[in-house]
């Protein structure tokens, strides 16, 4: 056998080097590179030793049209969870569930396994982090102590696969967490990229051969990446992240990748003292405790997948005592904030160069939609001018660099949700002129075309209120 040259792999992102370095060039992590043995290259895994056959097997190629069956699924019965998976766990699929420590991953999975077990499915919960007694304690706290879940505290993948392969294959198996698993086929220590990869590979093979849906729990690093094996993300069928901050009660389940369903749907939960509660109307939750008279807040009518979601965007613009004013943003893209500020300065006539600017999406939600531009701009203008926005109005629209307000998708759903929650007005882009026959809008929309209209509208309101 050829002598293997040592290989070094970054434990954070999986990049491979042929010598040790202090800093990973791929992910900028310090001290993350570790020598790996057992495989010459952790990115490709153990080298196959099967002798190659002289001739390949000939397989039939198929056309695009033809009969194809829907993937069979097992719904959990937890509506917010099923929404994210696309209607239930697909048989034989593997889901990677990432999230900060303490966010509630184990709680969610315990509730999901108990729900399935109570429906009569065989489910297994393998914890590599907690002892059986601890898992039991959590189940009891959740009121699920009687659910027929098969429980074990194990970390060896070969043992787990052998145990689960006995008898009827489980409908769902939880591996909590993939970082604690180790396989005998790889020599490195548990938690290293090679181990995590090797373990994930074995568990994925188990899922595909038995039809068991497997959920791998993955830890997340400070910057939100699933720690260790970003490579695992490519191997699994779905990557789902569980988000929220520990200072708030609500948690959001979001599919980042999904081979069997949508990636833009979110599930909303609330952490209570008896576990996670489904939140079927998140807008109400995100708008609760709103200060109606305060300047600097605007309600954004957003969309998460097919579901409209109303959230409050808060801005604080204050004179700066620093040479370079501060720009801080929570729950939104900082570069989008810079763009909105630039557009407000260039086309809205606002002077923000000497002001600190803070922007916050209330409730700990993270917004990625460009449609939030207009709501953010409205909150900023309102804070700078000190005049509050009408409390019964929602805002949405994308801001172009020219200052033009551009139409966004699903206008009707946004307006309907706003009307449902008691809003009576909307400041939004003028509907596209090429729309054949605009449907009747559920509330009074004030279409605006340019950012100057927005600034003028808020200024006029201020004059009225001071007159």
* 138 versus 450: smaller Cβ distance to Mg ion: 138
Q: Which of the choices ligand TYD, Mg ion, none does residue 6 contact, using the CB cut-off of 5 to 8 A by kind?
A: none
Interacting partner of 138 out of ligand TYD, Mg ion, none (Cβ under 5 to 8 A depending on kind): ligand TYD
The site partner of 104 among Mg ion, ligand TYD, none (C-beta below 5 to 8 Å per kind) is ligand TYD
CA distances from 92 to 78, 105, 158 (A): 20, 21, 18
Q: What is the smallest separation between the CB atom of 273 and ligand TYD, expressed in angstroms?
A: 5
SS (H, E, C) 3-33: CCCCEEEECCCCCEECCCCCECCCCCCECCE
**Could you tell me the smallest distance in angstroms from the CB atom of residue 252 to ligand TYD?**
13
Nearer to ligand TYD among residue 105 and residue 122 (C-beta): 105
Tokens representing 203? 């568990």
What is the gyration radius of the CA atoms in the chain, in angstroms?
Answer: 26
Q: Which residue is nearest to Mg ion (CB)?
A: 106
Nearer to ligand TYD, 176 or 369 (CB): 176
Alpha carbon distances (Å) from 315 to 333, 388, 424: 14, 11, 23
Site track 93-122 with Mg ion (rule: CB under 5 A), x = hit: -------------x----------------
Q: How far is the CB of 105 from ligand TYD (least distance, A)?
A: 3
Nearest distance from C-beta of residue 242 to ligand TYD, angstroms: 7
Which of ligand TYD, Mg ion, none does residue 142 bind (CB under 5 to 8 Å by kind)?
ligand TYD
Q: Which is nearer to ligand TYD, 227 or 448 (CB)?
A: 227
| Token pair belonging to 249 | 């009660």
With CB under 5 to 8 Å by kind, the binding choice for 99 among ligand TYD, Mg ion, none is ligand TYD
Query: 308 touches which of ligand TYD, Mg ion, none (CB within 5 to 8 A by kind)?
Result: none
| 189 close to 36: Cβ distance less than 8 angstroms | no
| Residues recorded for the chain | 467
Tokens of 18: 């042929």
Shortest Cβ 100–ligand TYD spacing (Å): 7
Distance separating alpha carbons of residues 108 and 253, to the nearest angstrom? 10
Minimal distance, residue 154 CB to ligand TYD, in Å: 17
Find the DSSP H helices in 290-431: 334-348, 373-385, 411-420
How far is Cα 418 from Cα 393, in angstroms, rounded to an integer?
Answer: 8
Q: Sort 365 into a burial class: Cβ within 10 Å, 0-12 / 13-18 / 19+.
A: buried
Residue that the structure tokens 């000497």 belong to: 354
Nearer to Mg ion, 109 or 352 (CB): 109
Query: Whose CA is closest to 179, among 223, 217, 146?
Result: 217
Which CB, 136 or 420, lies closer to ligand TYD? 136
Lookup: tokens for 216: 């791998």
Measured from the CB atom, the residue of 111 and 428 that comes closer to ligand TYD is: 111
Q: Which residues of this chain interact with ligand TYD, rule CB under 6 A?
A: 99, 101-107, 138, 141-142, 271, 273-275
Q: How far is the CB of 103 from Mg ion (least distance, A)?
A: 9
Q: Could you tell me which residues come within 8 angstroms of residue 447 by beta carbon, excluding any fewer than 6 positions away?
A: 428, 429, 430, 431
CB of 129 to Mg ion, least distance (A): 6
Closest to ligand TYD by CB, 270 or 453: 270
Cis amide linkage into residue 177, ω under 30° from 0: yes
Binding residues for Mg ion, per CB under 5 A? 106
């Amino acid at each position: 056998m050829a002598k293997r040259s040592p290989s070094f792999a970054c434990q954070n992102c999986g990049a491979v080097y042929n010598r040790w370095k202090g800093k990973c060039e791929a992910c900028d992590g310090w001290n993350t590179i570790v020598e790996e043995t057992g495989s010459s290259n952790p990115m490709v895994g153990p080298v196959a030793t099967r002798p190659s056959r002289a001739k390949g097997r000939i397989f039939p190629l198929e056309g695009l049209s033809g009969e194809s069956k829907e993937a069979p699924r097992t719904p959990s019965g937890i509506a917010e969870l099923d929404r994210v998976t696309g209607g239930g766990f697909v048989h034989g699929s593997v889901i990677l569930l990432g999230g900060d420590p303490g966010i509630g991953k184990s709680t969610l999975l315990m509730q999901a396994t108990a729900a399935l077990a109570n429906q009569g499915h065989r489910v297994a919960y393998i914890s590599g982090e907690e002892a059986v007694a601890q898992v039991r304690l959590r189940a009891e706290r959740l009121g699920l102590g009687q659910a027929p879940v098969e429980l074990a505290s194990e970390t060896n993948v070969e043992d787990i696969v052998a145990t689960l392969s006995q008898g009827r294959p489980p409908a769902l198996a939880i591996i909590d967490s993939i970082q604690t698993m180790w396989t005998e086929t790889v020599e490195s220590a548990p938690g290293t990229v090679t181990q995590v990869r090797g373990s994930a590979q074995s568990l994925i093979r188990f899922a595909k051969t038995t039809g068991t849906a497997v959920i791998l729990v993955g830890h997340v690093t400070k910057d939100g990446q699933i720690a260790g094996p970003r490579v695992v993300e490519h191997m699994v069928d779905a990557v789902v992240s569980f988000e929220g901050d520990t200072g708030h009660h609500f948690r959001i389940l979001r599919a980042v990748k999904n081979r069997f369903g949508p990636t833009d749907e979110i599930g909303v939960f609330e952490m209570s003292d008896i576990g996670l509660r489904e939140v079927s109307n998140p807008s109400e939750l995100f708008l609760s405790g709103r200060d109606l008279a305060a300047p600097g807040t605007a309600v954004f009518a957003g969309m998460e997948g097919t579901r409209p979601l109303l959230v409050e965007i808060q801005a604080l613009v204050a004179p700066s005592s620093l040479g370079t004013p501060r720009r801080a943003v929570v729950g939104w893209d900082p570069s989008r904030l810079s763009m909105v500020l630039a557009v407000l300065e260039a086309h809205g006539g606002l002077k923000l160069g000497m002001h600190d600017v803070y922007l916050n999406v209330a409730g700990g939600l993270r917004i990625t939609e460009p449609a939030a531009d207009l709501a953010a701009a409205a909150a900023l203008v309102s804070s700078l001018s000190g005049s509050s926005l009408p409390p019964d109005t929602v805002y949405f629209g994308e801001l172009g660099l020219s200052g033009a307000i551009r139409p966004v998708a699903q206008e009707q759903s946004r307006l309907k949700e706003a009307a449902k929650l008691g809003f009576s007005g909307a400041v939004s882009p003028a509907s596209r002129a090429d729309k054949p026959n605009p449907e009747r809008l559920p509330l009074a929309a004030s279409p605006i075309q340019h950012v100057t209209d927005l600034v003028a509208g808020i200024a006029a309101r201020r004059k009225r209120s001071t007159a």
